[in-house]
Amino acid sequence: MELTTHPGLEQLAADEVLALAPKGVLRAEVRPDGLRGWVSVWGDWPAIEQAARRLRAVHHLFRPLDRFVLDAAEPLAQVEARLAALAIPALEPEGVSFGVRCERTGSHPFTSEDVGRVAGAGVRSRTLRAVNLRHPDVALRVDVREQICRVSLALTAEPLSHRHQRPYLPGVSMKASLAWAMLHLARPQGAPGAVLDPLCGGGTILLEAGALWPAARLLGSDLDGERVAGTSANLVANGLLPRATLRQGDALDLTALWGDQAPVDTVVTNPPFGKQVGKGLDLRRFYRELLQSLLPVLAEGGRIALLAERRAAFTHALEQVPALRLRHVRVVEAGGLHPAIFLLERA
């Protein structure tokens, strides 16, 4: 089986499947053939598939169908011929549709669209099935990494990260798989007493924390009242509101906002970045003031997992707050950007 996740989280996904199916999984390889965001897993197929559908770091699951080295002279003709010769049992029933998606990395005299086109032509020459690129019954991946071509069958129509009911969705929303990774890095050994997200947005971190740790208190706040109301609606939809306390207020004044709940042992948050950050915002100052605001409500030994795109600005700000010790940095890819998860601990 092959799994996809955020580039940068491959090892967490591999460790997760090994932990969930220790008797059925023989080996997991991150970034097979250099494919960022992919993990290959070998072992007992039923055990792997049963465990894989419970993974929280993963987007999609795939069944490998073929792998070959591209012909330097006629690579596209070779792709079409391999797909024409490939038996795909999922396409045998009458009336099913299919679609092909390709991701290509490396230097080639063709595009990803060219690969998808010839692969689709190859499939249709073997079994005349309708093409549906938006909502196919059978979704195929034909991925090219340098001179290696990999063909896979998608086992999931919707990403596994779409696991929460979300009546409220802000314009930009973190994926649940990334929220899980931040929570896992913050507390890999056990549940915290409370999780605070002082920039809760649509509440993804609180939703994931609530599902992960049934006994943890959930604390969330945001300066935007609409987002606090939206987070409340999302928590209600998932049966988590009775465990949560939500407030509207400034993340740069957390003593006033959360002093009555202090000390909190775990803070996991996603400050604005990318298009959400205005050109006039001094990020060094913002990050420094945010960290200073967190100190009075954070327990001794408490941990902070924070996602920051401007890594240099955050590192500079952290140097101004000596009470916080850097424990881990992990760069990930999210929405075409490359922020980092910073794990901090109060000395």
Range of the domain at 24: 2-154
Same domain? 94 vs 200: no
The pLDDT, as a whole number, for residue 111 is: 96
Indicate whether 260 and 332 sit together in one domain: yes
Measured between alpha carbons, how far is 186 from 304 in angstroms, rounded to an integer?
Answer: 7
E-strand ranges in 180-297 read 194-197, 217-222, 244-248, 264-269
Mind listing the pLDDT tens digit of every residue in the chain (347 residues)?
A: 999 999 999 999 999 998 887 787 888 999 999 899 999 999 888 888 888 889 999 999 999 999 999 999 999 999 999 999 999 999 999 999 999 999 999 999 999 999 999 999 999 999 999 999 999 999 999 999 999 999 999 999 899 999 999 999 988 889 999 999 999 999 998 899 999 999 999 999 999 999 999 999 999 999 999 999 999 999 999 999 999 999 999 999 999 999 999 999 999 999 986 555 556 678 999 999 999 999 999 999 999 999 999 999 999 999 999 999 999 999 999 988 999 999 999 98
My answer on whether 201 and 124 are in the same domain is: no
CB < 8 Å & 24+ apart, contacts of 129-135: 129/91, 129/96, 129/97, 129/98, 130/97, 130/98, 131/97, 131/98, 131/99, 132/97, 132/98, 132/99, 133/99, 133/100, 134/99
Answer yes or no: is 159 within a domain: no
* Domain identity same for 245 and 119: no
Give the number of domains in the chain.
2
- 139 lies in the same domain as 227: no
Q: Are residues 208 and 148 in the same domain?
A: no
**Same domain flag for 138 and 190:** no
**Would you state the structure tokens that stand for residue 238, as one six-digit string?**
């998932």
CA distance 262 to 255: 9
Q: Which structure tokens are listed for 11?
A: 């090892």
In a domain, 169, yes or no: no
Same domain, 264 and 129: no
The answer to whether 174 touches 276, Cβ cutoff 8 Å, is no
- Number of Cβ atoms within 10 Å of the Cβ of 87: 10
Inside any domain, residue 300: yes
Full-model pTM: 0.92
Shared domain for 112 and 219, answered yes or no, is no
| CA–CA gap between residue 9 and residue 177 (Å, rounded) | 9
Neighbours of 321 (CB within 10 A): 18
Asked whether residue 283 is domain-assigned, the answer is yes
**Tokens (6 digits) for 209:** 């924390």
Region of residue 186 (left: phi > 0; alpha: psi -120 to 50; beta: else): alpha
Q: CATH number, domain at 65?
A: 3.30.2130.30
